[in-house]
Amino acid sequence: MTLRLLEFVVAGNEASDLLPVRSPALLRAHGARRGFWTVLDEGPVERCLALLLERVDGEWVAQHVAADAGPENGRTEDGEALARHDGWVYVFGSHFGSKAGPLRPRRAFVARFREEEAAAGTLPVQVVRNRFRLHRAINDALAAAPLTTLPPGDRVRARFIVETLARGTARAKSWATRLAEDDLPVNVEAAAFTPTGTVLLGLRFPVTADGEPILVELAGVADMFDDSGWPRPVGAYALTGVTPPGTLTGFRAIAAAPDGGYAAVIGSIDALGKGSVLLDDHPHGGEVTSRHVAFRWEPAADGRLAGRPVAELAPFHHVEGLAELDGSCFYVTDEDHRVALWVDRDGGSRGGRPVTPLRNKPQTLVVPSGRPCPRSPGSPGPGLPPRPRRAPVVCPTRPGAVEVFQPTLKSGD
């Protein structure tokens, strides 16, 4: 597999998740043949929506989307997952906290919009801050499931649950009644709807005691937006057969696949080198590279769901989104101050055969006009050691996309 990189600078931010654009009107408005929604993960949701578009002439561009959440403007943060259902694009907040806790109510939100409305000007976005109601529903699903979850560890429980409860109680917050001391902190990083209208939320944490990633199924997500109800737990499921022995893996992305199944990316339970309390308690959950996997929605009575590896995405630790479109796989990685979209130039998955790194070429950056573009000293290439952070150099391509060919991957034996 050969991956081609398209880099974009979008409001100096990095991206989470990918969702193909389905609105012909939106594509026409931008002169594009195809494209993706992505959500930028720092800031309120109405300021963190962007389009990555391939124009009819083959040029890729990024468009920061102007949006308005009305009275909820500025009241959310950390959008992580995108999913489509019944004509709406949904954005799910992480429902988590900072690397050292506590949980943050601003991250407990779900938003939605109709993508064709982005073609006509400022995009109206509906936002519901659920004040830990999804946290409660997810924890109830986990408690009722025939799964054994990994204990969070004393420091994780103290920082994320006990401290959040103490803060909410001291400030007389109504949401404090939806937390319990034996709750697990949940980090929502992926989402996809089922044909019946329930949503599958992929958790980066918690994982099972065997280190397997967990999906939680909820019903009634749309009910939040017309005040007719709140999401209800349906079940929780462990994805088996995809976690390397001796490691912990959580979900980083889920996407509905053209064959009716689901594609997903799994990886580490938190980022290395950023003061993660999770990794202090569970260090074997950090040094894990990303893996592209697949599964059918056919859960067993014991809460197990069979998965299969599709591609090893080493050396990447930080793949945060994937999509399968027009016979190719697309991945987005979490890079400082920029959006990195990787395209499988060889035409899609490997039929269940993992891929392994062959070699990393020296980076050559070429703007579409063919002029060389120097890399910023503060922007190392994917998989390279971090360098001191400096202001990024933006190459003058309309509006900043560059192409990098790295790494080259081949199918494993």
10-residue mean pLDDT series, the chain (413 residues): 86 86 97 96 92 95 96 97 97 96 97 96 97 98 98 95 97 97 97 97 98 98 95 98 96 94 97 91 92 97 97 93 93 88 67 33 28 32 34 31 37 31
Instruction: In whole angstroms, give the CA distance from residue 26 to residue 116.
Output: 6
Q: Which fold has domain 12-364?
A: Tachylectin-2; Chain A (2.115.10)
pLDDT at 391: 29
3-state SS, one letter per residue, for the chain: CEEEEEEECECCECEEEEEECCCHHHHHHCCEEEEEEEEECCCCHHHCEEEEEEECCCCEEEEECCEECHHHCCCCCCEEEEEEECCEEEEEECCCECCCCCECHHHCEEEEECHHHHHCCCEECEEEECCCHHHHHHHHHHHHCCCCECCCCHHHHHHHHHHHHHHHHHCCCHHHHHCCCCCCCCEEEEEEECCCCCEEEEEEECCECCCCCEEEEEECCHHHHHCCCCCEEEEEEEEECCCCCCCCCEEEEEEECCCCCEEEEEECCCCCCCCCHHHHHCHHHCCCCCEEEEECCCCCCCCEEEEEEEEECCCCCCEEEEEEECCEEEEEEEECCEEEEEEECCCCCCCCCCEEEEECCCCCEECCCCCECCCCCCCCCCCCCCCCCCCCCCCCCCCCCEEEEEEEEEECC
Dihedral through CA 278, CA 156, CA 151, CA 144, nearest 10? -110
Longest CA pairwise span in the chain (Å): 60
pLDDT at 9: 85
pLDDT at 344: 86
The pTM for the full model equals 0.86
Tokens standing for 170? 């001291």
pLDDT at 47: 95
- Cβ of 174: how many Cβ atoms within 10 Å? 9
Tell me which residue of 88, 276, 358 sits closest to 199, measured CA to CA.
88
pLDDT at 327: 87
Beta bridge partners of 214: 203, 238
pLDDT at 346: 62
pLDDT at 408: 33
pLDDT at 291: 97
Q: Is the Cβ–Cβ distance between 255 and 324 less than 8 Å?
A: yes
The phi, psi pair for 156, rounded to 5°, reads -65, -45
Beta bridge partners of 140: none
Spell out the domain ranges in the chain: 12-364
pLDDT at 396: 29
CA triplet 394, 398, 401: central angle to 5 degrees? Answer: 55
